[in-house]
Structure 1
Amino acid sequence: MLFKKISLLGVTSVLMLGIAACGAKEETKTNAGAAGDAGKTTGASAPAAITGSTAATTKKVTYLGKEYTVPAKSDKIVITGALESMEDALVLGVKPVGAITVGGKFPAMFAKITDTTQGIGEKTQPSIETILKLKPDVILSSTKFPAETGEKLEKVSTTIPVSHISTDWQANLNLLGELTGKQEQAKQALQAYNSDVKTLREKVAPVFKDKKVVTVRIRTGSLYIYPADVFFNPSVYEELGAAVPEEVKQAKAQQLISLEKFSEMNPDYVFVQFAEDENKDTPKALDDLKNNPIWKSINAVKNDHVYVNIVDPLAQGGTLYSKAAFLEGVKKSNIIPTK
């Protein structure tokens, strides 16, 4: 059995728009009273929009149906809990003044935007005291946060809960573009990505026709599948044209699946994501899976169509960065037949 371990040498041209330094410090304090919890959203992908101005130094931004008052340009952004926002910042070259860490440090994939960034704690435990000292213009939190965490952050500055639902990826990118004055850069990145999708779909959709394609994640040593609109599934099903398997249709959230049940699915193509940080107690889980005879019986394994970490295992899936990286990985794989 041969697994495809494809290193991420780069993503599509949309990510080469330039990593820009943050602008001058904002001297005017923002109005902090307009934040609210956006909650879980589905299907909304309309861009954030400026709906009006309350003063020369502020503006109102609408994001997923809620309105927030923010500085005319937010130079000091803190990202707490939302790795999706970190990936958007990477695309737009935005350097947050403060951001979450993973295992006490910034992941290497964010090196270009975190050289001047202050760590504010792990994504599940942001330090309110540290954030307060940074005096941020805006705080980008996560819809995964409990209400009490959002309330604490709102007392510091305007807080916008960024959606973790994959179908909101365009709204998320446009929100950061609106906050930082990089709307045009976000627009160009989206246009380039959509063009890339169209070209690649023409090559991949015929390959995936009548085939079962599944993305899985190994966490705490176990296999998990996801709903059709979560993780990398929108890239596989909506953009590259694969049919959604019944098991994926029935998944309501991240769902544990036994190896026996997965073998019954018997997929023809499998994308596996495995991060060491998510398997600290079972570091050999991937190797054990490779050597399991049940796993070896699956069509994808037998036909050399298993792709491990086609993108960085920390990539969230539902962002422009993740989606562009996924396309790049597919291009470098053996999925597209050579003539």
Structure 2
Amino acid sequence: MNRHRRWFGRLVIVMLIAICAACGNNNTGNGNNGNAAGNAGETKEGTTATVKERVISTSKGDITIPEDPQKVIGLSVVYPEFLYALGVTPIAVQNYHPDFPSYLKEPFKDTLKMGIAQTPNFEAILASEPDLIIAPEWWSDKDYDQLAKIAPTVLLPQRDNWRDELRDIGDVLGKKDQAEKIIQDLETKQADAKVKLDSLVGDETVMYMMIMAKEIVIYGENIDRGSFIHKQLGLTPVKEFPQTELSLSISLEKLPEYNPDHIIVQMDDETSEEVKSRYDQMTSSTLWKKMTAVENNHVYLMGGKEWFSLGMSPLADMNAIDDVVRAFENNNK
């Protein structure tokens, strides 16, 4: 879509929002007027219904939000996972893969998929009639005014650790204690898995790689994904990986230089023909077949959508722990 069409689309959306506001049928606010989405104190039949509200402090000032929001949108590919972990099923989400990972497929069966773009899908958000929108400040600050016309919108700061993101959302929802319990439960599960994997693998080296459409990437222990594999689960990285790098784009010819005892392979998108072609090209090569992990049948294939949020979400990490432990257990039978 060219620049003029993009701006025209945004103009149509703004006009649509203005018309809805003028009609008074969706009298939403950004907190300055104290309203939640949908004229909070009134039902469709015109009878009054008390909706409890509370005021929270944000980077945009004090905002009035529902005390118990029922229709929440989290504008980030990982925010929906945080919401669900905290007991809130989002009504609409941004999605990278066509299908949800297995651990979200059933609970998100009625959740609207909005895809991913540089700007929010205002039309879909408006149609969803949310009573609360939660979005990362770094991505949604430029769109705040438009989002706030649809529903009370809370912008959250960028965090280096997903645990702090979860705490932020827990604070917004009044579920701080639940957020801490989720973090503690994951740490307990990680500790148990670390002991189990140590008994299965010991000091044998493990390399974690992703097959993408245009490249093959291997991850070190100082990036979210690599940290999960090597620090949280204690699997020993190859010594040859440079500690100054978070990840490396690597050619097939260079792979044997690392030659680990075990390889965890993730497909970026298992439905992509380009990804499948690159994977087939790699696994059919003589260089690959002569690697120690391949010769010993120590290669573990993981799906893209299942591990998409690895190292960035408690649900993804919990699911991946089960995958890794199961893979190494099956290999030792």
TM > 0.5 = yes
1:58 aligns with 55
Q: CA deviation at 1:169?
A: 2.2
What's the CA shift for 1:218?
0.9
Amino acid across the alignment from 2:31: N
Match of 1:77 among 66, 69, 72: 72
Query: Is 2:286 aligned against 1:293?
Result: yes
Checking the alignment, whether the CA contact within 8 Å between 1:140 and 1:161 is kept in structure 2 is yes
In the alignment, structure 2 segments of 5+ residues that lack a partner are 1-26, 34-51
Q: Which SS does the other structure have where 1:263 is aligned?
A: helix
Is the 2:268–2:303 contact (alpha carbons within 8 Å) kept by the matching residues of 1?
no
Matches of 1:286 and 1:145, distance apart in 2 = 33
Cα offset, 1:221, TM superposition: 4.8
Shift, 1:229, TM fit: 3.8
Q: Is the 8 A contact 2:197 2:325 kept in 1?
A: no
Q: 1:147 to 1:241 in 2, by over 3 A?
A: same
* Distance (Å, rounded) in 2 between the aligned partners of 1:221 and 1:279: 11
The answer to which structure, 1 or 2, has the higher relative contact order (CA under 8 A, 6+ apart) is 1
Deviation at 1:220, TM superposition (A): 0.5
Matched residue count:
285
Q: 1:277 to 1:206 in 2, by over 3 A?
A: closer
Q: Is 2:124 aligned against 1:127? A: no
CA deviations on 1:226-285 (whole Å, 9 max, x unpaired) are: 343434322222212234445252324x54111222221112222111143673434332
The question of 1:187 aligning with 2:184 is answered no
Q: Secondary structure at the residue paired with 1:266?
A: coil
> 2 CA distance for matches of 1:278 and 1:142?
29
Deviation at 1:107, TM superposition (A): 5.7
Name 2:164's counterpart in structure 1: 171
Calculate percent identity across the aligned residue pairs: 21
User: Structure 2 vs 1, CA of residues 106 and 272 (structure 1 numbering), >3 Å: closer, same or farther?
Assistant: closer
Letter matched to residue 58 of structure 1: V
Q: Which residue of 2 aligns with 1:52?
A: none
The answer to whether residue 217 in structure 2 is matched with residue 224 in structure 1 is yes
TM-score, length basis structure 2: 0.69
In structure 1, runs of 5+ residues without a counterpart are: 1-26, 34-54
Cα distance change, pair 159–282 in 1 and its aligned pair in 2 (3 A): same
Report which of the two structures shows the higher radius of gyration computed on alpha carbons: 2
Find 1:212's aligned residue among 200, 205, 209: 205
Aligned pair 1:329/2:302, yes or no?
no
- 3-state DSSP class of the match of 1:217? strand
Tell me what 1:31 maps to: 31
Which amino acid letter does the alignment assign opposite residue 307 of structure 1?
Y
Change (3 A) 1:244 1:185: same
Shift, 1:223, TM fit? 0.8
| Aligned partner of residue 114 in structure 2, secondary structure | strand
Query: C-alpha separation between the residues in 2 aligned to 1:178 and 1:219?
Result: 36
* Alignment match, 1:38: none
Maintained 8 Å contact 2:77/2:95: no
Pairwise CA distance, 1:307 = 0.9
Partner Cα distance (2:178, 2:97) in 1: 31
Say whether 1:197 aligns with 2:190.
yes
C-alpha displacement of 1:70: 5.8
Q: 1:73, 1:325 → 2: CA distance?
A: 28
Partner of residue 93 from structure 2, selected from 88, 95, 99: 99
Aligned equivalents of 1:278, 1:70: Cα separation in 2: 43
1:15 matched to which residue of 2?
none
Which structure shows the higher strand fraction? Answer: 1
Q: Which residue of 1 aligns with 2:313?
A: 319
Q: Which amino acid aligns with 1:235?
A: F
Distance 1:143 1:264 in 2: 42
Partner Cα distance (2:145, 2:97) in 1 = 25
Aligned equivalents of 1:291, 1:144: Cα separation in 2: 43
Greater helix share, structure number? 2
TM-score of the two chains, using structure 1 as the length reference: 0.68
Code of the aligned partner of 1:79? G
Contact 2:193 2:233 in 1 (8 A): yes
Q: CA deviation at 1:197?
A: 1.7
